[in-house]
């Protein structure tokens, strides 16, 4: 993704990588901290908040930057 973003540095779109949190799904398992109903609205809000923010952003479901 970093390579793609570098090759398209003049692109005005937001490129967002999301860390949705530890979610109770088949993958996350029954001990996961978040339900789907808790995680998804926050993921959507985070994505919507990036509208108009050009460049690459790696964020968690709360909108906090995730370290590469």
Is residue 11, in this structure, part of any structural domain at all?
A: yes
d(CA 1, CA 53): 16
The whole model's pTM is what? 0.86
- Cβ–Cβ under 8 Å, residues 14 and 5: no
Sign of CA dihedral 8, 14, 20, 26: negative
**Does residue 24 fall inside a structural domain?**
yes
22 belongs to a structural domain? yes
In angstroms, what is the C-alpha Rg of the chain?
A: 14
In a domain, residue 21? The reply is yes
The string of pLDDT tens digits covering residues 37-64 is 999 999 999 999 999 999 999 999 999 9
Candidates 20, 23, 9, 17; CA nearest to 50 is: 17
Q: Is residue 67 part of a domain?
A: no
Q: Render pLDDT for 3-32 as a digit per residue (tens, 0 to 9).
A: 999 999 999 999 999 999 999 999 999 999
- Structural domain range at position 6: 2-60
Please state the domain count of the chain.
Answer: 1
């Amino acid at each position: 993704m970093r390579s793609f973003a570098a090759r398209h540095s003049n692109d005005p779109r937001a490129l967002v990588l999301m860390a949705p949190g530890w979610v109770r799904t088949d993958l996350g398992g029954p001990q996961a901290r978040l339900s789907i109903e808790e995680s998804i609205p926050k993921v959507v809000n985070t994505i919507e908040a990036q509208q108009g923010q050009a460049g690459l952003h790696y964020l968690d479901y709360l909108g906090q930057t995730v370290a590469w």
